[in-house]
Amino acid sequence: MRRRAPLIYLSETATPEQKEEILRAAPGAVIVDSAGLEADPGLVSRVEVCYSELTPTQWGQVSSLQWLQVKWAGVEHLLSLPAVQAHPAVITNVHIHARAMSEHLWGLALMLTRNLHGAVIRQHEGAWDESLKESLATVAGKTLCVAGLGTIGEQCALIGKALGMRVIGIRRRPSPNGAADEVVGPERRQEVFAESRIIMLVLPDTRETRAFAGREELAAMRGAFLINGGRGKSVDTAALVDALAAGSVRGAGLDVTDPEPLPAGHPLWKMPNVIITPHYAGNHPGYDREAFAVFVDNLGRWMRGEPLRSVVDRAGGY
């Protein structure tokens, strides 16, 4: 059953071409932006569809909201708001990060295993340092663990297989997956960590994933390289510092940290076996365009009464 034309609130500026795309997907829709809501505050209670965010105050006002399309993957900050928890609107996110994130995380991994970060430092010092080759590692024939075998994790796993690695995936609900040689549940993570050369975390922030790599897990890693591209809270930061110093974790590539950003003077900033990037692994040219395309596609589905793509599991937290 086709829905009637909705009132759509765009929280960011849309081009005339983008508005045309919206109207093709939802003929007759009324489109308002932040300036429109400021000019007529009463409109906020009539908003039925929103792209891409609402303020905490607006969540208490959008009584007619049926669906919010966000332009990112993580929604833990939204679900932590009482007004959002109490609101019946459907929330959808986007899954457009897999290629960029897998490239980024493997870039971190290969920098560490091939000591490329050390070579860059020595280059900037004007030094030809052949001792760098004494601390190299290889990945072919070794085991890769990917914790969080979703869209991003699968892409990371496929690259690992292309590099000749055995891949073990960790999922909350294990099931066979063509990207991995084996898939296990989170209760087996210490066992899997112990046999892996590279461990990639691409986990959302939920109660179950916080300190997923805690002190015991990190101590079990036997000189593995840890790469974290999900959420900083998946790793016990103090325990990671100790594990890096002790050698149970040989090196760490971190696109996310806890806290984020790390405070000035934190030990991780200066550790020679750590690479930190400022939480941009999922960003790529054309991101906004791709996210908007997801919204327009879902808008067409919403108008036709079809199931929306990438509906957030509020209970699961992602």
Residue 171 and residue 184 share a domain: yes
* Domain-located, residue 122: yes
CATH of the domain at 300: 3.40.50.720
Instruction: Write down the catalytic residue from 122, 215, 279, 309.
Output: 279
- The two three-digit tokens of residue 167, written as one number: 């891949």
End-to-end Cα separation, the chain, in angstroms: 28
CA 103 to each of CA 22, 110, 169: distance values in angstroms, whole numbers, following the listed order = 32, 10, 18
List pLDDT tens digits, range 165-218.
Answer: 999 999 999 999 999 999 999 999 999 999 999 999 999 999 999 999 999 999
pLDDT above 70 covers what percent of the chain?
A: 100
C-alpha Rg value of the chain to the nearest Å: 22
Would you report the helix, strand and coil content of the chain in percent, each value rounded to 5? 40, 15, 45
Residue 41 and residue 27 share a domain: yes
* Domain-located, residue 310: no
Residue 32 and residue 122 share a domain: no
Q: Provide the mean pLDDT of the chain.
A: 97
List pLDDT tens digits, range 17-76.
Answer: 999 999 999 999 999 999 999 999 999 999 999 999 999 999 999 999 999 999 999 999
Residue 174 and residue 49 share a domain: no
Residue 180 and residue 74 share a domain: no
Residue 66 and residue 45 share a domain: yes
Looking at residue 90, its amino acid is V
DSSP string, 280-311: -TT--TTHHHHHHHHHHHHHHHHHHTPPPSSB
Residue 290 and residue 268 share a domain: no
Residue 290 and residue 228 share a domain: no
Residue 171 and residue 114 share a domain: yes
Q: What is the pLDDT of residue 1?
A: 72
Using pLDDT thresholds of 50, 70 and 90, give the confidence band for residue 131: very high
* Domain-located, residue 200: yes
Nearest to residue 200, comparing CAs of 239, 248, 251, 241? 251
List the strands of the sheet with 90-92, edge to edge. 30-32, 7-10, 49-51, 67-69, 90-92
Task: Answer for the pair 101, 229: CB distance below 8 angstroms, yes or no.
Answer: yes
| Main-chain dihedrals φ then ψ at residue 125, nearest 5 degrees | -90, -5
> Domain range holding 167?
98-276
* Domain-located, residue 231: yes
* Domain-located, residue 47: yes
- CA dihedral (62, 68, 74, 78) in degrees, to 10, reads 10
Spatial distance between the Cα atoms of 302 and 305, rounded to a whole number of angstroms: 5
Spatial distance between the Cα atoms of 275 and 252, rounded to a whole number of angstroms: 6
Would the pLDDT of 272 be above 80?
yes
Residue 107 and residue 48 share a domain: no
Mark whether 187 is an active-site residue.
no
* Domain-located, residue 318: no
Residue 248 and residue 289 share a domain: no
Residue 173 and residue 32 share a domain: no
* Domain-located, residue 2: no
Instruction: Write down the catalytic residue from 104, 171, 189, 231.
Output: 231
Q: What is the pLDDT of residue 2?
A: 86
Instruction: Write down the catalytic residue from 53, 76, 260, 290.
Output: 260
- What is the count of structural domains for the chain? 2
* Domain-located, residue 315: no
Looking at residue 243, its amino acid is A
Mark whether 231 is an active-site residue.
yes
Task: Answer for the pair 241, 268: CB distance below 8 angstroms, yes or no.
Answer: yes
Mark whether 97 is an active-site residue.
no
CA 206 to each of CA 20, 47, 55, 80, 190: distance values in angstroms, whole numbers, following the listed order = 38, 29, 22, 11, 19
